[in-house]
Amino acid sequence: MFILAVVFIRFRITTTLRQETGKEREKDDFILKAQNRTAALRYREKKKLNEKKRLDEVAGLTRRNQELKSKARFFLFDIF
């Protein structure tokens, strides 16, 4: 009878530990998923920012190119 009680107590302890470990594992998975979502969000924001910078740079260069073309036309008209 004593051995049966010891086995039952041991079974109960290991079952409880497994449940707690499972809960901790779920908590760790939740934290990892949240960190992954945060990292993905940061990556997307950085990508958007780089794209915006690139488009602004292209727009600025296009504007500068148009200004230089108009100045060149103006000087060509003065020459002829």
Instruction: Please write the tens of the pLDDT for every residue from 1-33.
Output: 556 565 556 666 666 656 666 677 777 788 888
The residues near 6 (Cβ < 8 Å, ≥ 6 apart) are none
Residue, of 47 and 72, whose pLDDT is higher: 47
Residue 67 lies in a domain: yes
Amino acid in position 79: I
Residue 68 lies in a domain: yes
Residue 75 lies in a domain: yes
Q: Which tokens go with 6?
A: 């010891």
| Domain count of the fold of the chain | 1
Segments forming the whole domain that contains residue 67 = 41-79
Residue 17 lies in a domain: no
Record the pTM. Answer: 0.50
pLDDT at 25: 76
Cα separation, 41 vs 44, whole angstroms: 5
40 pLDDT higher than 60 = yes
Cα separation, 43 vs 50, whole angstroms: 10
